[in-house]
Amino acid sequence: MTKADATPVLELTGIGKEFGAIRALHDVDLQVWPGEVVGLMGDNGAGKSTLVKIIAGNFRPTHGEMRFAGSEVHFNRPVDARAVGIEVVYQDLALADNLTAAANVFLGRELKRRFGPIALLDHKAMASRALELFGELRSETRPDDLVRQMSGGQRQAVAIARTRLSNARLVMMDEPTAAISVRQVEQVLGLIHRLKEQGVAVMLISHRMPDVFAVCDRVVVMRRGEKRADKSIHQTSPEEVTALITGAKEAA
């Protein structure tokens, strides 16, 4: 599903990462296009998390070059990655459950109104913007409810709404369907479709084959720190991907 006319939103060339003597990643090339959902699969220790952490700015790569929307980027901290438009939805969602949904969406970038020298929170504006975002994601979530009282699907919606706030162009989701119910998995996959409709590129890191085949356009398989496959979802099968993950098949 490559588009020759567009620039990829994310382009990795020869990315490698060593921790001391351990080679966690070796020579990974990867392109992600706008509006595309890419599944990143691999067994534990295959290098998925390292790759995600490099893209998210948690680690600096030892080798290689990273381009975002055509220009070369170097991230020192996660905030740098977010500044250019990369958002991560973490596995544990990184929500403060003693705060409301709206407060979590706007955490760290609250809307304020100035009264002379003092800037006070603009609760109304934040609540209505959050409600709008939940509407876009078609999630029944009230901005004023505490996250503590929410279902897993609603929590996902809050975490994803946060990425919509900044007009992220690439959203990486780390195991978003790992610990939630079947109905909520449906909701989360729906949320991914919403992001795609709006032209956002999504990288889905998941162990769950059905989810990957349900939403992804392309699947990338990692094994022993290397990219072993990068195929359109229509040209592969769960069996082939499983073989690639376990090493029964070396590359495709």
Partner 1 sequence: MAMPLESPISFTNVGKIRWWQRGIFASQTGYVLLALAVLLVIMHFASPYFFSQGNMQNVAKNFSFIAIATLGITFVIITGGIDLSVGSMMCFSAMITSMVMTELSAPGSPLVHMAADGKTVLANVPGLILLISILAGLGVALIAGLVNGFCIAVLGLSPFVTTLGMLSIVRGLGYVVSNGRGSFPGGPDADYFYALTSGDVLGVPSPFIYLMILALAMAVVLHHTSFGRHVFALGGNEKAAELTGIPVVRVKIEVYVICALAAGLQGIIVSGWLGSAPANMATSYELNVIAAAVIGGANLAGGIGGPLGAIVGCVLLEVIRNGLVLAQVSSYWQQTLVGVIIILAVLVDRVRSRMT
Residues of this chain that interact with partner 1 (CB under 8 A) are 78-79, 82, 88, 90, 92-99, 103, 107-110, 112, 118-121, 123, 131-132, 134-136, 138-142, 145-146, 149, 154, 162, 167, 198
Residues in the chain: 252
Distance CA 194, CA 128 (A): 19
Which residue's CB is nearer to partner 1, number 194 or number 208?
194
| Location of structure tokens 């032209």 | 199
What is the chain's Cα-based Rg?
A: 19
In whole angstroms, how close is the CB of 48 to partner 1 at the nearest point?
18
**Burial environment of residue 245 by CB neighbours within 10 A (0 to 12, 13 to 18, 19 or more):** buried
In whole angstroms, how close is the CB of 178 to partner 1 at the nearest point?
17
Identity at 163, one-letter amino acid code:
T
Which residue's CB is nearer to partner 1, number 192 or number 245?
192
Which residue's CB is nearer to partner 1, number 40 or number 195?
195
In whole angstroms, how close is the CB of 241 to partner 1 at the nearest point?
30
Which residue's CB is nearer to partner 1, number 202 or number 229?
202
Residue 207 tokens, joined: 């162990």
Distance CA 207, CA 233 (A): 16
In whole angstroms, how close is the CB of 203 to partner 1 at the nearest point?
17
